[in-house]
Amino acid sequence: MAARKLPLYRHLYFQVVCAILIGILLGHFYPTLAVKMQPLGEAFIKTIKMLIAPIIFCTVVHGIASMNDMKKVGRVGLKAIIYFEVVTTLALMRRPESTARKVSTWAGGLGLLAFLGFYFALPVVTKPAALGWVLSVLWPNMNTLVFLPIFGILTAWMGTRRPYSSYEYLLNECYQCGKCHTVCPVTKVEDDALGGLNLVYNTFKKQHDGVPLWTCLACDACSAVCPLDIQYSDYILEERAKVHAKMAADGGQKE
Amino acid sequence: MMDTEYGPGRTIPHPVMFRVLDSEADDLTVPEIKVEHKSEFAYYPGCVDYYDVEMQFSHMNYGDTNHGIIFDSSVKLLRAVGIQPMILDRSFMKCCGHDQLWQGKIDVFERMREYNTKIIKMLGVKTFITSCAEGYRTFRLDYKLDGVRVVHITQFLYERGLRIPPQPETAKRIRVAFQDPCRSGRQMPLGAVFEEPRELIKRVDNADLVELKTFRADAQCCGVAQMMYCNDKTKGLTRKRMDEAVEVQADYLLTACPKCLTHFGCLHHEDKWRPGEERYPYKVMDITQFLAERLPGEYPTGSNIDAKRKEPPLPGRRG
């Protein structure tokens, strides 16, 4: 099928390059106008993001459907699964946790999509007799294979959860022996912090408005006596960093 | 307490000092580095100069607390044990980032860490000596300085066998109390600095070491950490700690952390408004100053120090 020769300006690539150039010129000569155009760009990006998942799904289905050689299909499926496992493992090795979670979730989702596309496309595009070795391999292990991506996602998720060392777990394990209350210097002078245990625990249990999170000296007197060895100052570090990251994302500290 | 969308009172008004330090961290270009004595032993004085300026600027206690002398004393002590340290000056080093880290400004801290690590590696430092407890904790725990040994100056002086010569016959016996900074003691799982300062104090022959009510790993905080607040509550904590030194009738209250010195010095200065009825009849100083005063010889000159200076800088505004 010979495509009709299109003039240059009808090509999508050319149009994109032109748009980029116009954007650059606009930003250079009329910066205020360019900033006002921001919603347009954002809407465009969001539209693309919305379309990513269906596009990948359709691409995979189309790709498999247009393949002639069934062995190739089997190899592609295997490659998808291996890719997914490798990416998940890499994600697990990566710190910080939030990144690992994000990567593993994305990899899992994409792997699942690819696998489902593969799974649904296979019987449609092939004659039942020509399924050949692919189904004979897949059939006995079908349950495992269908649930493999989901198992993978769950394993990655639980691996990154680290439940036995997280602060939620440790702080909930606290059996309120009160040693930390005895040594916490701030609870002796701060009205907000009276009652309860040390400042960090009270903050965690939401027994006050959160101000003592900043009043805490991080002197670690509570951790030094804690029989459960809860590292309160590390918790303080994380919480403060979270608040500051949120502030920075919102455009810095208000004067 | 004002309400913000992050919870009540969650925005902290930072003093000018932190704005300066934060903006300093943005510029990662390396300036021209001049060091007088190239050596594998490096001494990092920390932010002591900033504290002096901040103390005077905020009219807290100019005239009393002298942080600059920590630097001079440290260099004098290091020379006494035969080390000519390479001085990691603030002209090319940045703040260690301790306060920024504990105030939650992780991004600022990471920029400082990146820059300082680069400089330390570039200068080929093998032993990194600091006289600041917070700096000790930060460089040892929060930085990743592989192949560089980070020590507090008291540890270094102890292992190099600092000898304090006998004091004159006329010298009175003095009672010396030591405040354990939380950053170099309790918070260091390895290399906690408890024993070394006490051993060094015992080497001064007319000094009796007395322990405060809470000491070593149980030591109470001086009242303010990471320069977060200064209010009645924190003053109350500082006062509690200083009262403990009154109870044991100390003549000197020593500490190894410039921050502790700042806050003790602040309250000590306020105490002087009624002469004759001082609540705290003792001196507050850094342990390096205490030891260096008991060594013969002048304070160091040369290197990055003002060449014309023959004696320690006068405290406060005059210095």
Helix residue spans in B104-218 (DSSP H): 106-122, 133-137, 153-159, 195-202
| Residues 6+ positions from B142 with CB-CB distance below 8 Å | B97, B98, B101, B109, B113
Distance CA A33, CA A27 (A): 8
Nearest to B221 among A221, A242, A254 (CB): A221
- What is the structure's pLDDT at B11? 45
Render B257-283 in DSSP notation, one character per residue. Answer: -HHHHHHHHHHHHHGGGSTT--S--SE
Strand partners, B151: B129
At B36, is the secondary structure helix, strand, or coil?
coil
Q: Are residues B10 and A218, on separate chains, in Cβ contact within 8 Å?
A: no
Q: What is the dihedral of CA B289, B291, B293, B296, to 10 degrees?
A: -140
| Residues 6+ positions from A155 with CB-CB distance below 8 Å | A88
Nearest CA to B253 out of B220, B287, B276 is that of B287
Please identify among residues 172-201 of chain A the ones whose CB lies closer than 8 Å to any CB of chain B: 183, 185-186, 188-190
Q: What is the dihedral of CA B161, B162, B165, B170, to 10 degrees?
A: -120
| Residues 6+ positions from A163 with CB-CB distance below 8 Å | A169
Could you tell me if B98 lies within 8 Å of chain A, comparing CB atoms?
Answer: no
Please identify among residues 159-218 of chain B the ones whose CB lies closer than 8 Å to any CB of chain A: 182, 186-187, 217-218
Tokens (6 digits) for A73: 């299909």
* Minimal CA separation from B316 to chain A, in Å: 27
Chain A residues whose CB is inside 8 A of the B1 CB are 209, 211
**A81-85, A160-164, B41-45, range with greatest mean pLDDT:** B41-45
A4 sits in the region (left: phi over 0; alpha: psi -120 to 50; else beta) called beta
Tokens (6 digits) for B152: 């507090």
- What is the structure's pLDDT at B314? 55
Nearest CA to A112 out of A157, A81, A73 is that of A81
Nearest to A243 among B6, B107, B229 (CB): B6
Could you tell me if B226 lies within 8 Å of chain A, comparing CB atoms?
Answer: yes
Q: Are residues A214 and B10, on separate chains, in Cβ contact within 8 Å?
A: yes
Q: How many CB pairs under 8 A join A and B?
A: 92
Query: pLDDT tens, position by position, for chain B (319 residues)?
Result: 445 554 444 444 456 677 777 888 888 888 888 787 888 999 998 877 777 766 666 655 555 677 878 888 898 899 989 888 998 877 788 888 888 888 888 888 999 999 999 999 999 999 999 999 999 999 999 998 888 999 999 999 999 989 999 988 888 899 999 999 988 988 888 889 999 999 999 999 999 999 999 888 888 888 887 777 777 778 888 888 999 999 999 999 999 998 888 888 888 877 777 777 788 888 898 999 999 988 887 776 544 445 455 555 555 444 3
Distance CA A134, CA A73 (A): 8
ipTM: 0.74
Alpha-carbon distance values, A28 to A34, A37, A40, A44, B26 (Å): 9, 13, 18, 21, 26
